[in-house]
Structure 1
Amino acid sequence: MSGDTESSKPNSGGCGGGTTNNPVKDEAVDASPFQEGEQVLAFHGPCLYDAKVEFHMEEWRYYVHYPGWNKHWDEWLGVDCLLKRTEENVCKQKELKEKHAVDKNAKLGRLSQDKTKNSIGVRGKKRKHEIIKKEVCVPLEKLVNIQIPSTLKKQLVDDHECINQLGQSVKLPRSPSVYEILNKYFDYRVKKDGMIVETVVDIVNGLRCYFDKALPAMLLYKHERQQYEEVIADNVSPSGVYGAEHLLRLFVKLPEMLSSIPIEMETLTELQQRLHDFLRFLQSNQSAFFQSNYEGFDSAVKREDN
């Protein structure tokens, strides 16, 4: 999570949102070689597949969908795994596909001739499985370990039950909004540290940007999508509409999102410390930030109490 700052306040417009007196440059996003909605070619294994960029975040990470394939295959990819859809690259895609087919047929031929070597075949299959498993598993040292306080975990459970079991929804717009909460945390850290710390600015801007991009993709329950379509219009940032309930959900997804980004261990350790500090800030202000803002929530609680 990084960004160049020109002031002591984080930007209020979200990624590509409105302007304020304290703008933050999103140069990494503006300079991105691939744009949202762009048709590209993506490496998946030894082959290139048609893909579409759903959205991208800082660190030049792209969330892509493969047209014609189940969304289960949607994934985060680095800039080095994508190619522009040019005539030359389409030819390369065809060549790789043909080469893969030839290699696959040759491999099948070798297996059919090797029936007398079953034991070796079994060991080979086991070895192949170990290699594949090693490739797809994220190293533990790269996985961001975010410990959510128990009271906030209960908040997540209550939030899930209200929406998915009681059929309620969070009243929008929320006050304080995600943007306002991040600003409050920024002011809190400046007062406590006695100065503006660059890493705090990075965390605040990074969380805002990640939230705006991740909300429609992975932070909404099914029953909340219609509400999202109604409240989020053009040039409106989710961080200015949604509140602590949805911001907390981001911390559940962050380990998965950040595990695919190359991060030095020293930076990763500091990042985890900053994220835990922010969670403690949420916890200490839980009664103010997490209100009973669900449609019909108060009456439902009264019925349970009785």
Structure 2
Amino acid sequence: MVSSSKGESASDGENSSGDAPESDSKRLFTEGEKVLAFHGPRIYEAKVQKAEIRKKEWRYFVHYLGWNKNWDEWVGKDRLMKHTEENILKQQAVDKKAGVDKNTKSGRSAHTKPKSSADAKVDKDEPKTTSAKGKKRKADSGIEENPATDKLIKIHIPPNLKKQLVDDWEHITQQNKLVKLPRSPTVDDILRKYLEYKSKKDGVMTEAVGEILNGLRGYFDKALPTILLYKKERQQCRDAISDNTSPSSIYGAEHLLRLFVKLPELLGYVKVEEETLIRLQQKLLDFLKFLQNNESTFFVAVYDGPKVTEGSSKGNKDN
């Protein structure tokens, strides 16, 4: 999940000051309403905290129940569903298809057993509940507990790239397709193109940009096999990556974008000054804009069919 900052919230408010008001009849969700919210490939229980007209349409500030408030964000109506029995079944179906249950570490198991009164206590018991759920979230992602959770760097992924993440999830988990490997351009190619872009734009290349790109490459190579792959992609990864090759020379923009969802948590372990984190955040956002501006070139248009047979897929079920 990608969290939204208070600064982003304030900015949205300023941008909407001149918008023409819409009728209340167009507001689909009300403040305090419990809803189901799409975030990346998953559907989570959430609570609408605010409902305002922003950029001529209703936007909703949601809190994901059982999650730290750092993940609170403004979303549009296309990201929300009514909390009905029918939609809960849809949520559970999505979890099942993604392989999420009590025995896996690929997602939260709380949705397999919807809560009622317990959910109402989440906001009232924030310190205790956040701590417990925070540990669960980190266990699910394969990352140990991070004591710096409240100081996570905020990375706002542009809407087009968020849609790219959702489409990526749907192709792989719902349509049983894979990204054809090796990709072109690769992650290494994209980082090099960004370096060239910055050099031409700024007229000079600072060491800081080069260091950040090297850091991204290092994080990507280490994170891809452990936390950036869906279950159906693991066999493909084992076939594609050998001892003398790195993921950044095989994979492309689709998997690189997934890294930015995990980066806030990964960077939480790095002990740096707050001012340095702010500068890093700005540079990462600039890189995401570069990805967005080159979306048609960097991201694959068509996914391939599965590279493993039904039998071999079952054989690797528990891997």
- TM tier, shorter chain? 0.5 to 0.7
Check 1:228–1:136 CA distance in 2 against 1; reply closer, same or farther (3 A cut).
closer
Alignment-derived partner of residue 274 in structure 1: 283
Residue 258 of structure 2 aligns with an amino acid whose one-letter code is R
1:216 aligns with 2:257: no
More helix by share: 1
Q: How does 1:86-165 map to 2 (within 5 A)?
A: 138-140=148-150, 142-165=151-174
Q: TM-score, with normalisation over the residues of structure 2?
A: 0.51
Indicate the percent of aligned positions where both proteins have the same amino acid. Answer: 58
Alpha-carbon distance in 2 for matches of 1:246, 1:263: 26
Alignment-derived partner of residue 260 in structure 1: 269
CA deviation vs aligned residue, 1:173-219 (integer Å, no higher than 9, x gap): 00000000000000000111111111110111011110000000100
Cα deviation for residue 296 of structure 1 reads 4.8
1:166 aligns with 2:171: no
Alignment-derived partner of residue 187 in structure 1: 196
Runs (4+) off by over 4 Å: 132-137
Q: How many residues were matched structurally?
A: 173
Alignment-derived partner of residue 285 in structure 1: 294
The correspondence for 1:241, drawn from 247, 250, 258, is 250
CA deviation vs aligned residue, 1:112-143 (integer Å, no higher than 9, x gap): xxxxxxxxxxxxxx9x969x779976353x21
Residue 224 of structure 2 aligns with an amino acid whose one-letter code is L
Cα deviation for residue 235 of structure 1 reads 1.1
Alpha-carbon distance in 2 for matches of 1:162, 1:263: 38
Q: Is the 8 A contact 2:146 2:269 kept in 1?
A: no
Alignment-derived partner of residue 33 in structure 1: none
Cα deviation for residue 260 of structure 1 reads 2.1
RMSD: 2.7
Alignment-derived partner of residue 238 in structure 2: 229
* Higher Cα radius of gyration: 1
2:256 partner SS: helix
Note the residue ranges of structure 2 that are not aligned, 5 or more in a row.
1-102, 106-124, 135-144, 307-319
CA deviation vs aligned residue, 1:5-28 (integer Å, no higher than 9, x gap): xxxxxxxxxxxxxxxxxxxxxxxx
1:176 aligns with 2:185: yes
Alpha-carbon distance in 1 for matches of 2:128, 2:189: 49
Residue 194 of structure 2 aligns with an amino acid whose one-letter code is Y
Q: TM-score, with normalisation over the residues of structure 1?
A: 0.53
Q: Is the 8 A contact 2:149 2:265 kept in 1?
A: no
1:233 partner SS: coil
1:169 partner SS: coil
Residue 290 of structure 2 aligns with an amino acid whose one-letter code is F
